[in-house]
Structure 1
């Protein structure tokens, strides 16, 4: 696993500027393509769904659940322009938060994560059926009937803070099994989600203990970088091969041996003063239990066990947000 060295200069400046006001401009190494041809969709706005003559599973690849994470939209645009079609079953390509994605500005690339609220914290029955209104809830309710028909879903994400790529699987063992079979990237983390609300991969049909529908979330690497798009494409193409939707031979990197880690503690920031003692990189393993890694006001945050994997530490965290997940390797 990668060691927590110094932050990239742009991120160091971002973090240093956080207490004093607006963060500085961050570099965007990829361009959001013209999505005009895809906005209308053929199933729903922003949703393109293609059946094959032969039977098979319904697989959905979801991009831009967060509007500032444009790598998945770059990939779906590439596949749509190439005319990708499934050999069996049904393939749905979903631009999830169209409104936020449409506001993406490379001069202020962190600003368009959502319009009103996080689309990836709304996927419980009570919230979806409530009288609440927001841009994201309206979109979740529109997408819900489609997701109710999906057998296998891959939600494409990227990360602000430095971290090894990984797959998040939620609670069902079948999701971890799928992620381990996928093996790209090789780090698989099973967790309980966020205190702030359920993710799409935690939505009822995908999370039922005895169900057979499966959803996994790919954190493919840093926002706005071409290598992140490459990881998304490798993982999504491999998923289509595993599910039988893609049959033609395509070159792919040989996956490393996958490893599964189970989250043992999710740390949610309680105060505005939450701070790590050093700029930990996601994927770092802390050797000894009871190691102090952060302070949340007066509360000490310590590792609960030896060989503690730090999952996606957020180096600038607001109260109520997940600051870090700590995990133990299964079988270690």
Structure 2
């Protein structure tokens, strides 16, 4: 190489270094809840004498999203008593959670694979093995019994809280009635696999059941726990499982936005042109927001809602969803 030639460019990593965000929550001791009371480890169920709907609240589908574990721990210490029907609380991925450490809080998302990408019949009933699939198969009976599922999640990157309703208009309407968080996103999921809210039992257009994914705010923040609790209590009251709260102010219906494009990174060089926050609305269509290698990513319509943009996106994973309000 000539002495004045520039040094060769370093190859871009296919797995970017994750960012560092402060951990402002203490991971609870879940040992008292390991056995459960419903015949499945980590699953606790409480029924009323009067029949009614079955609400399943799930936490720790991702082992590092500890806000949901904190909420379920609080609820179990006070023991929810439904007026009718049944409330079930389930810790999903104990094994991943056991690896959680504030020094490396993103490393415990899963053991072998993302538990929220395995919920199609071919995968659940197939021969493939992993820690997450084993647990999903173990949890499947209680999920099959539920009428409504609240799947509690949090987000790494700064973003407004929202509810994901998947493909089901029924789920989107329920989410809008709950109203916390106030933005409801109807989407087609991820190329990498089906989520719990995409599970056939809840996605069936002729069915009567619904599943919602609550993206309650950033990981490791107390405000995220508070949003999860508000969402749970409003859902339980909407289903008449818990009594009305005294003096609780009426909330407007949530706003429903439909995803018009799911942007999946096709290269390891996906880059946003600037820092975007989830929930940001881009006023003008055809605005350039990112590059995927040489390919331009532009907003397909005016007033385009950015749903959970991920600045560090692996090839084959969702970088952002673009949505339009009803």
TM-score strictly above 0.5: yes
* Aligned residues of 1:155 and 1:217 also touching (Cα < 8 A): yes
Equivalenced residue count is 313
The DSSP-based 3-state class of the residue aligned with 2:190 is coil
Looking at structure 2, the residues matched to 303 and 24 of structure 1 have their Cα atoms a distance apart, in angstroms, of 26
Looking at structure 2, the residues matched to 145 and 194 of structure 1 have their Cα atoms a distance apart, in angstroms, of 24
- 1:255 deviation in Å? 2.7
Q: 1:86 — aligned with what?
A: 82
- 1:258 deviation in Å? 2.0
2:258 to 256, 262, 270: 262
* Aligned residues of 1:234 and 1:252 also touching (Cα < 8 A): no
Q: 1:184 — aligned with what?
A: 180
Alignment pair present for 1:123 and 2:119 = yes
- 1:50 deviation in Å? 1.2
- 1:192 deviation in Å? 0.4
Alignment pair present for 1:30 and 2:25 = yes
Greater radius of gyration (CA): 2
Unmatched segments (≥5 aa) in structure 1: 1-17
**Residue deviations 1:123-146, cap 9 Å, x none?**
000000110000000001001111
- 1:54 deviation in Å? 0.9
1:320 to 305, 311, 316: 316
Note closer, same or farther for the CA distance 1:292–1:25 as it changes in structure 2 (3 Å cut).
closer
Looking at structure 1, the residues matched to 217 and 205 of structure 2 have their Cα atoms a distance apart, in angstroms, of 30
Report the more deviating stretch, 249-258 or 24-33. 249-258
CA RMSD across the alignment: 1.5
Alignment pair present for 1:42 and 2:37 = yes
- 1:21 deviation in Å? 7.2
* Aligned residues of 1:185 and 1:255 also touching (Cα < 8 A): no
Note closer, same or farther for the CA distance 1:300–1:112 as it changes in structure 2 (3 Å cut).
same
**Residue deviations 1:224-271, cap 9 Å, x none?**
000000000001011111111111535546534421100000000111
* Aligned residues of 2:83 and 2:241 also touching (Cα < 8 A): yes
Q: 2:269 — aligned with what?
A: 273
Runs of 4+ in 1 over 6 A off after TM superposition: 18-21
With normalisation by structure 1, the TM-score equals: 0.91
